[in-house]
Every structure is written in structure tokens, then in C-alpha cells.
Structure 1
């Protein structure tokens, strides 16, 4: 059964990510305040982006990934700037090396 992952732009310019089996019905629910608690306070909403999948599990998995993305990365997706997505990925801090754990050696006092 067809499913969708989507991004809505809310009236306050915030972005909401969701997934559904019926994109038209779900967009209407969001616009009438029945879609989610988040969007109910930010109507009207505009469907900014969506992608179709063969099953809801695939759509839901992508929804959860996109929800962790920065606003800049979501906007790049909406605008179709797919080449920018890797550079906009949030970088995880590099774990300290063993020598960093020990700190610098104490200064030699003569």
C-alpha cells in the first residue's frame, strides 16, 4: 500500500515532518487543527515536500531520520539541493584519543 513521508511549512515558518498513507487527507487534518498537537497551533500549513514509498514502514523510517536533521538540511531537501545534504549533516564530536584522556604532561620544574 502506498505511503508518504512529508514536510509541512507551518504559519510560523517552522517545519513539521510526518508520514501517512493518505497525503491529501493528512494535509487537510493538519490545516483544520486535527493533524497533530504541534501543527494545531501553527495553522495554516503548506505541504512543502513529500516522497512516495511502497509501504508505511519505509516512510516512517525516513520520517524519523528527517526529524533529526537540522533546519538547513530540511530546507535543502525541500529545495531539491540533494548534493548539499551530506555537507549539512550534523557532525558527531570526535571521541577523544587516548592521549587526550590523559591530558598534557605536567611541566618540568627545575
Structure 2
């Protein structure tokens, strides 16, 4: 399985990425190995997750989310939280 995800950093900013192992990726982000952007903004919290069959689909979704305005990303995270509750 492949995943597109959004994490909220300690400073309130959002980071979007994709991975094929979400648990490892979250550990890496919080250990300072995940991405240059998140390293100084730890800890990070997973606030959005989508699953895809292929890497290409996950990467396309990541690209689309990265081109959204912050308000649109926050709407995604709100819906995700409601759906999980």
C-alpha cells in the first residue's frame, strides 16, 4: 500500500508527503530523518492520510495537495479527523 499524508509540525505548519510505510515515515520525521523541512519543526503529528494502490497515484495526490492553499489543506484535515472519530 502507498500513502499520501499531511503532518502538522510543532510550529503549526503543514508538511505533505508520500510513503509506502507510514509508521516508519512518522518515526523518521520525529527522529529528524524524515525531511529537511520537518527536522527543525519536531514533533510532527499525522493529521491526514489517504491510501493508494500505486506509488504513482500517491505521488499524484501529493502533488495536488502541495498545490492547494493552506485553507484547503486544513479542510482536508478537519474532514479526516471527523471521519476517524
* Global fold match (TM > 0.5): yes
Q: Which structure's CA Rg is the greater one?
A: 1
Structure scoring higher RCO (CA < 8 A, sep ≥ 6) equals: 2
Higher-helix-fraction structure: 2
CA RMSD of aligned residues (A): 1.0
* 3-state SS of 1:75 partner: helix
* 3-state SS of 1:79 partner: helix
State the 4+ residue runs in structure 1 displaced beyond 2 angstroms: none
Match of 2:69 in 1: 70
Match of 1:103 in 2: none
Q: Number of residue pairs matched? A: 80
Could you list the per-position Cα deviations for residues 72-110 of structure 1 after superposition, in whole angstroms to 9, with x for gaps in the alignment? 0000011118xxxxxxxxxxxxxxxxxxxxxxxxxxxxx
Structure 2: 5+ residue runs without aligned partners? 81-85
Higher-strand-fraction structure: 2
Give the TM-score of the pair, scaled to structure 1.
Answer: 0.71
* 3-state SS of 1:19 partner: strand
